[in-house]
Each structure stands twice: as structure tokens, then as C-alpha cells.
Structure 1
Amino acid sequence: MTPIMSKSEAADLVVSAKIRLGLSWQQIADVLDAPLVWATAALLGQHPMSDEQARKVCGLLELDETVAESLRLQPARGVDEELMSDPTIYRFVEAISVYGPALKELIHEEFGDGIMSAINFKVDIARRPDPDGDRVVVTFDGKFLDYRW
């Protein structure tokens, strides 16, 4: 019996196949009929895929059943210290460190005592042209969950 492939090993194979086949993340997400950011995160190991999604993407990327099996597994989510050295990821952490307390206060003022769900959640990325250089627009869209005492 073949041991289960780790999600990080599967992600490496997905990225290699994507490059080898000249596909974009958007093209892969379109085949999966899934949101771009969700599909990319799932293929990088942060979400479990359904059996149908895993089979479909492995067919597209010419990857075998061991990769599909890994893509169906529940992930171990958390902070990967190695990722913190990546400048793009670090900037997101930095932005939340600077603006997180203000966003928390504003959410509480607008909605009351509660949180924004990261489970009932959508995230999107877009490019916005700007004369000073294009802007990255990241949208977090989470359901408000009030604390119930």
C-alpha cells in the first residue's frame, strides 16, 4: 500500500504541472468551476477538495490518484514560519498588524459584539490601474457572527 502523500508534496506537484502545461490559476479554477482564490488555496493545500474536483484537476494536470487522494484530505491550517519570510505574505501580516485593531473597532461599532467569519467567507483579488502604478485590491467578504451570551 502506498503511503498518503502530504499536502505540501501534492502542492509542489500541482505547481510543477501547472508550469509544465502552461496553465494559469484562473484556467484551472474555471475547469473546477470554483472561485479563483479558493481553488488556488485548495491546490496549495489549504482546503479539502471534493472527489470530483480532485479527479478533474488531476486529469487536467496529468497527475495520478495519489495526488488526488492528498487533495481530498483535510488540511492542517496554521502559520508556517517559513512562509513568513516571503515578502508578499509578510506584507499581509504587516497590514493586519497595523490595521487589525482599527478594523476590529470599526466592525464592533458597525455590527456590534462579534467577528467576521473566516469559514463563511469569500476572498477575491483584482488589479486596478493607477497612474502611480497598478494597485492590488484584495476583498475579504465574511459573514458577521455575533457573540451570543
Structure 2
Amino acid sequence: MTTPIMPKSDAADLIVAARIRQGLTWAAIAEKIDAPLVWTVAALLGKHPVPADKATAVVEMLGLGEGVAESLRRQPTRTPDEAATSDPTIYRFYEALDVYGPALKELIHEEFGDGIMSAINFKVDIARRADPGGDRVVVTFDGKFLDYNW
């Protein structure tokens, strides 16, 4: 009898707990596995499949088992979860896209033509910028333009 595969959400909970328990930052983990910071966090929270060598490095670093590594290697199901409406930070991203999404779409079409921004050939970054009125959160989406082919 084989052991069932650990759900990605369970693996994520174990990773977060081990990271906190060991006093590690997400940046330290990303550096250890030689991966972009935001991608690393998203992947370890279950939103990307993690290559085998990186999954192994993470579980060794955090003292977790093969079940977590196996879960990390699996392809995720990407659907909004309850945090989309219950977590204020995540909700603000939804709110920002609700307000500005149609305008951004119009501007993309005006600048590039008929097409979309890829979320596969894509980079995302986050930075802190000092401001006299309070520090600012700067989020950068950098996606390849994919023109519509008739």
C-alpha cells in the first residue's frame, strides 16, 4: 500500500512552520535554492511545481521529509482560495485589479495591439520604497506580450 500524496496546502503549512521555527527568511531560502524571491515563496506555498533538486534542497534545509518534497514537485491547481476574500492584503490585490484591470487592458491593447500579458513567461518582484507619507509597496509584473494570432 502506498502513502497518499501530501496535499500542497499541508506541505506549505509545514514549510512555513519550519521556516519560522528556524528563524529563516524567505530570502535566505530563495538564495539557498538559487531562485527568484517571489517565485520561491509562491512555489513553497503551493502555487508552482518545484524542480526536484530545489525541492530536495528546501526539505533538507528545513528538516522536512520526502513527503513534503514530493508534494512540492507536483503540479498545482491554481484557483483562488478563501484568502481572496478573507485576507485584507490579498483582497487589496483583487480590489486593485478590479479597479485598474480594465484600464490596464485598454492601455496594453493601445500600446501593443490585440493580445495579452503572459502569466507563464512572467516575472514578479516586490520592493519597499521610502516615502515621506509612509513607505510604499512596489509590485512589478513583467510578462511577455503574446499577440493574438487569427
Give the TM interval when normalised to the shorter protein: over 0.9
Letter in 2 for 1:87: P
Q: Is the 8 A contact 2:47 2:78 kept in 1?
A: yes
Runs (4 or more) in structure 1 with deviation over 3 Å come to: none
Runs of 5+ consecutive residues of structure 2 not aligned to the other structure: none
Residue 128 of structure 2 aligns with which residue? Answer: 127
Residue 34 of structure 1 aligns with which residue? Answer: 35
The alignment of Structure 1 onto Structure 2 pairs a total of residues equal to 149
Letter in 2 for 1:91: R
Residue 26 of structure 2 aligns with which residue? Answer: 25
Q: Is the 8 A contact 2:127 2:137 kept in 1?
A: yes
Alignment of 1:70-109 (within 5 A): 70-109=71-110
Separation (CA, whole Å) in 1 of partners of 2:21 and 2:83: 25
Partner SS for 1:15: helix
**TM-score, with length taken from structure 1:** 0.98
Alpha carbon RMSD of aligned pairs, Å?
0.7
Separation (CA, whole Å) in 2 of partners of 1:13 and 1:104: 38
Q: Does 1:117 align with 2:137?
A: no
Runs of 5+ consecutive residues of structure 1 not aligned to the other structure: none
Partner SS for 1:19: helix
**TM-score, with length taken from structure 2:** 0.98
Q: CA deviation at 1:2?
A: 1.5
Q: Is the 8 A contact 2:6 2:71 kept in 1?
A: yes
Query: What is the CA deviation profile of residues 108-144 of structure 1, one whole-angstrom value per residue up to 9, with x for unaligned ones?
Result: 0000000000000000000000010000000000000
Separation (CA, whole Å) in 2 of partners of 1:83 and 1:12: 18
Separation (CA, whole Å) in 1 of partners of 2:149 and 2:78: 26
Q: CA deviation at 1:83?
A: 3.5
Give the share of equivalent positions with the same residue, in percent: 72
